[in-house]
Amino acid sequence: MQAATGYPDAVLKLRDLLNSYLGPEKVALVLKAYDMGEAAHRGQTRKTGEPYILHPVAVAQILANMRMDHESLAAAILHDTIEDTPLTWDEIRSQFGSEIADLVEGVTKLDKMKFRTRVQADAESFRKLMLAMSLDLRVIFIKLADRLHNMRTLSSMSNSSRRRIARETLDIYAPIADRLGMNSMKHELEDMGFANLYPWRHSTIAEHLKTVMGDRKEIVGNILEVLRARMSDAGVPCRIKGRQKSPYSIYQKMLARDMSFRDVTDFFAFRIITDTEAHCYLALGAVHTLYPPKPGRFKDYIALPKANGYQSLHTILNSPYGMPIEIQIRTEDMDLMASKGAAAHWQNKGEDASGQPTAGSAEVRAREWLMRLVDVQRHTADSLEFLDHAKSDLFPDEIFVFTPKGKIIDLRQNATALDFGYAIHTDVGNHTATALVDNLEVPLSTRLANGQTVKILTDPAVQPQPQWLEFAATARARTAIRHYLKSLRQEDTVTLGMQLLEKALNTRGSSIDEVPDETWRQYLKENHFKRQDELFNDLALGNTLASLVAAKLAPEKSPQAVAAGGSEAITIAGSEGSALSFAACCLPVPGDKIMAYVSTDKGLVVHRVQCSNVREFRKHPDRCVDVSWAPITKGMFPVAVRIIARNTPGVLASISTSIGEANSNIERVAQPEANPETATLLFTVSVRDRDHMARVLRRLRRNSNVVRVNRIG
């Protein structure tokens, strides 16, 4: 409906709301944005049939209800113009300045992102979404308001579109709203997403809730009266309101605990909102004297705020009416933050005298979270890997632990002592040697629990290990470990690739140093390598064959011209790193006669000469490499042993003792077959070399329970 002023009723309603908290010149700028947006969208309609401009006006209304600034509101009204109309960024900038134009462009980029599910999301788009949020949080506020209005008007879409958009909302946008502390928006997005994705389930639960609450209306009224009287007696100034649990929260509880609807009993919650923290704790004591609290169900999010800045006291009481009651207690400021989260910063809440957000506010915590993600993406080249890391931070169950100085560190559930080290600083994590939890030394893989105090001792000699990835839980830790291992692997592969090429050139009577610079430049350019290191890396991984490269770099030389044996074998010391591996089929140990095969993507794989696979490898001589053991080798090497033993009680312990007496460790054991007389046991044990292996076998043969023992492979 058009008013006499020329503005639709929706715009007049928006104007009246803006006049309640913005100055006249700022309200005028928002109306100017409407004039530009209306002209740009003129003639366009939504699927509902209404003029398109009413959608961005509704988005601005949602933001105005959150008391957002005038730049956000102007950008909200113009947010679809760059993509859907001839209007350009330059034209918006000329009228409104770069700040508003950049906000519009930021939202436009987000609008182009098409998500499917959290598992199958467009990973690169998700990366851009996180980075856009890190540059200006208002971009995601506008996008969330846009999604909220789209969900409110979803009925005009087809069934398949409704389900797709609902799934996307539940998987991407509601969790982001939650992570930003915007609980009111999160709850509405969740319930509308649930209603459109599973309409029958939503309506069934909603009907059950309506019936239950109708039956309990008198009980709820009685509890409210009793709570108000108790707060008055305790001298707690407050307002109390009841809150019915949403169908989606009930559904989530049914799924998580495998419960039926009739088993879910806490359908109703009461919220006590007072003026100070002291009154919050006074109110808590008062309600605990009113009804007995359920053990283990009290949570103090005031002393230990959630990662998104949420603060409140939560407790569950056993009422005399046969149903548990959830009580939430918070201050007015906490209630505002719980509703609007990071967006409350633009309402001039949570700021100190300098106008900056205070430490611990939702806005600061949101920025800290986003900066952690930015740090993760810097070290993550693969978008799918980044998405995996982001999801682990976006959907956490938090725990809170302390440094020795009392600083609170929030981590995801199942985080380990190693994750704590990386939460302090990447360098601390990379050099974590020892972890003390409540003054007791624990393994780095120890899962942490709420309230523990953790101290990390570092050692410059300690470096990240591949096995750390087996128990590191946080995105920051896993990214840092992978980044280190990748850089280490590249060093290993470059060194090995150089050795392979040097050997191939030696067979042609040449060497790397003898190849002219111009020949190098020409070869690298023709084969799309930017540097020699990239070529060496490809050689080590088997993606390029050293003999073929040597033939190109030294074409005038011929392998036949080199005397037999003129090229030295590559020596293996056991410390070559991840570019070289020992074949699982034959498990070579120092002292065995060996050869190596350049396997695609696996690098150099060392086999025993008598391995059954070597005959097949010899059919590809370009991939076969002469190798020999270095005079001094490092580390322990696995070897497979088959033992036929008497099938008597204690035989396994007896054999284990024999292996230990030979100074060897058992890495793996299996029993593939047994009969009443004998049992076949397959052991993988670690040895230093063939001599050590021989001592292990001799010790086993002297064991009275061992009938026969031999090496496998």
User: Residue 237: enclosing H or E segment and its boundaries?
Assistant: none
For residues 147 and 182, give the distance between their C-alpha atoms in angstroms, rounded to a whole number: 14
Measured distance CA(712)–CA(192) in Å, rounded: 62
In this structure, are residues 148 and 137 in contact, taking their beta carbons and an 8 Å threshold? no
Task: Count, in order, helices (H) and strands (E) of the chain.
Answer: 28, 20
β partners of residue 594: 608
Q: What letter would DSSP give residue 421?
A: H
At 246, list the tokens.
């949403």
Please give the Cα distance from 74 to 62 (Å, whole number): 13
Q: Residue 684 forms beta bridges with which residues?
A: 640, 668
Backbone angles phi, psi at 689, to 5 degrees: -165, -175
Contact 707, 656 (CB under 8 A): no
Which residues are CB-contacts of 522 (< 8 A; sequence separation ≥ 6)? none
Residue 415, phi-psi category: left (phi > 0), alpha (psi -120 to 50), beta (remainder): beta
List the beta strands (DSSP E) in 248-397: 268-274, 299-300, 313-318, 324-331
CA distances from 263 to 198, 204, 213, 220, 278 (A): 21, 15, 15, 19, 36
Query: Exactly one of 83, 136, 375, 388 is catalytic; which is it?
Result: 83
Residue 27, helix vs strand vs coil: helix
- Using DSSP bridges, classify how beta strands 603-608 and 627-629 pair: parallel, antiparallel or unpaired: unpaired
Residue 563 gets which letter from DSSP?
Answer: P
The whole-angstrom separation of Cα 298 and Cα 279 is 17
> What is the Cα–Cα distance from 390 to 379, expressed in whole angstroms?
13
Strands 432-437 and 440-442: antiparallel
Answer for the pair 271, 330: CB distance below 8 angstroms, yes or no: yes
User: What is Dmax (Cα atoms) for the chain?
Assistant: 106
Q: Which of 35, 50, 69, 84 is catalytic?
A: 84
The per-residue b/e assignment along 385-394, b for 16 or more CB within 10 angstroms, e otherwise, is bbbebbbbbb
Question: Does residue 83 carry a catalytic annotation?
Answer: yes
Query: Active-site residue numbers?
Result: 83-84
